[in-house]
Amino acid sequence: MELWFTEEHTENVRFSIRVDRHIVSEQSDFQKIDVFETPEFGKMLIIDDFVMLTEKDEFIYHEMITHVPMAVNQNIKNILVIGAGDGGTVRELTRYNSVEKIEMVEIDKKVVDISMEYLPFTASRLNSEKVKLYFEDGLKFVKTKENEYDLIIVDSTDPIGPGVELFTKEFYENCFKALKEDGILVNQHESPYYKREQEAMQKAHKKIKEVFPIARVYQAHIPTYGSGHWLFGFASKKYDPVKDLNEEWWNSIKIDTRYYDTELHKGCFALPNYVKKLLSNA
């Protein structure tokens, strides 16, 4: 028997992965959650038929969504993480001794439960004493906060299903309010290549730059996401992600990384012309 998982990148493009074992399949109140064991990528977390992470390359996504903002401000102590139920983002953040508190708000407890059980490589630090988990609606949670966080990371699914509200202008405005005067917002910013993600990227950027004085976008090579060309947003009240990179400090704390370093930090903000054009026309 051959078992294959197929993600439709578009209605005309399919990415198929051979599966050794379908480990779990659950329908939560919010979405369908599957875990596969695969020969190429190890374990994979799939939500609503889209690849969320693979054991082989989750390090790329999780390093890029965390170390880029962390290397800009060495005084980041209080962090809010929205989404990120698999735990990979928190795992990276707990590597900083300087971080004091991480509040993580995930709407779907089932994602955390499944990750704790089947994906220990990402979920391993979710029970760190610095971490406080809330199983709530991210938009409602952030609405109640003011001048509280040094960094907010929005590690969301695509703007389909429960992720939709994390792409609204109201949400970005609430993040702005919840951040301190030198706060940074980093978000999963979709992809420039296929139409669906391209439109989501443009809409998100348009809204974020209406709210934050500094709104930049950076890129990474993530082979198991559609097109492999994935973006993150860096929005901030004060810090420029490249000019204010604290290279010396970040290299002095010796965090061992497999994708990120401070040279790549500077390089990843140099976007292709066609992406810059899409963003400026957003």
Distance of CA 140 to the CA centre of its chain: 19
Residue 79 beta carbon to a second copy: minimum distance, rounded to whole angstroms = 24
What whole-number distance in Å separates Cα of residue 180 and Cα of residue 200?
A: 27
**Cβ neighbour number for residue 281 with a 10 Å cutoff:** 9
Query: Taking CB under 8 A as the rule, which mask of x and - marks residues 217-256 in contact with a second copy?
Result: --x-x-x---xxx---------------------------
Q: Are the beta carbons of 139 and 173 closer than 8 angstroms?
A: no
Options 111-119, 134-142, 148-156, 267-275: segment touching a second copy (CB under 8 A): 267-275
Known binding residue 137? Answer is yes
Selecting among 34, 108, 150, 155, the annotated active-site residue is 155
Q: Is 143 in the site for a second copy (CB under 8 A)?
A: no
Query: Taking CB under 8 A as the rule, which mask of x and - marks residues 87-116 in contact with a second copy?
Result: ------------------------------
Residue 254 beta carbon to a second copy: minimum distance, rounded to whole angstroms = 13
Phi, psi of 81 (to 5 degrees): -115, 130
Residue 259 beta carbon to a second copy: minimum distance, rounded to whole angstroms = 4
Known binding residue 157? Answer is yes
Residue 49 beta carbon to a second copy: minimum distance, rounded to whole angstroms = 16
Q: Is 257 in the site for a second copy (CB under 8 A)?
A: yes
Phi, psi of 56 (to 5 degrees): -70, -40
Residue type at 198?
Answer: Q
Residue 23 beta carbon to a second copy: minimum distance, rounded to whole angstroms = 17
What whole-number distance in Å separates Cα of residue 5 and Cα of residue 39?
A: 12
Show contacts with a second copy in window 19-78 (CB under 8 A).
38-40, 57, 60
Known binding residue 31? Answer is yes
Instruction: Give the nearer residue to a second copy in terms of CB position, either 67 or 180.
Output: 67
- CB burial of residue 65 (10 Å; 0-12, 13-18, 19+): buried
Is 182 catalytic? The answer is no
The sheet that has 149-155: what strands, in order across it?
131-134, 101-105, 78-83, 149-155, 179-188, 229-236, 214-221
Three-state secondary-structure class, residue 220: strand
- Which residues are CB-neighbours of 18 under 8 A, at least 6 positions away? 2, 3, 4, 38, 39, 40
What whole-number distance in Å separates Cα of residue 277 and Cα of residue 241?
A: 20
Enumerate binding residues for a second copy (CB under 8 A).
4, 10-18, 38-40, 57, 60, 193-194, 219, 221, 223, 227-229, 257-261, 263-264, 266-274
Binding positions for spermidine: 62, 86, 155-158
Q: Which of the residues are catalytic?
A: 155
